[in-house]
A = this chain, B = another copy of it.
Amino acid sequence: MTSAGQAPEVFAQRPKRADARRNYDALITAARKAFAENGAAASLEDVARRAGVGIGTLYRNFPTRRHLFEAVYVEEVRALCHSAEGLSELPPWDALVAWLHRFVAYVATKRALAEQLLHDSEIFTSCRAEIFSAGEPLMRRAQSAGVVRDDIGFDDVVRLISGLTMAQFPSPEQRDRVLGVALDGLRPPAPPR
């Protein structure tokens, strides 16, 4: 029950003919990999090659490098937000922490994507909105329950987490340990101190 579903149609929509749709999906998948491997500057011709389609097909579906970027990015965000559903059955703190963990895991490999999109993109802002509508309720619930300090907003948490997301961790264990430390910072200060 995120706000997804009626998101902005600003970006390239999935084509209707069966073969075209196949190609579209193959392109997105290939692009995700290529960007993850080679960074934001991955060759579009390489993407087409991986997807097993002609370069022309790529350009028809995504007139611009950015279009392709955005399509990949949007899909990631969708998945993340979707995963917030059902989390409200957990206790407030656990729900928040669980989702934030997913946040990190989902976005961890998308460095290149994020870097490219961070600047001036309306898609980015609308995705941001989606993320907020998925995570902010969890945050507020935790604050009302007194298990998260009151002097910070959800946007602070997003920055904190997405910062970690960008860092390179040698092992998932260390990543979780560090995330744990960061999360401890969210706890309300102990009464005496």
Residues of A within 8 A of B (CB): 39-41, 111, 115, 118, 149, 152, 155-156, 159-160, 162-169, 174-175, 177-178, 180-186, 189-193
The 8 closest A-B pairs by CB, nearest first: A190-B190, A166-B166, A185-B185, A163-B167, A163-B163, A184-B185, A163-B164, A181-B185
Please name all residues of chain B whose beta carbon is closer than 8 Å to the beta carbon of A182 when the two chains form the complex: 160, 181-182, 185
Please name all residues of chain B whose beta carbon is closer than 8 Å to the beta carbon of A181 when the two chains form the complex: 149, 152, 156, 160, 182, 185-186
Please name all residues of chain B whose beta carbon is closer than 8 Å to the beta carbon of A175 when the two chains form the complex: 159
Task: Say yes or no: A156 contacts B177, CB within 8 Å.
Answer: yes
Task: Say yes or no: B190 contacts A178, CB within 8 Å.
Answer: no
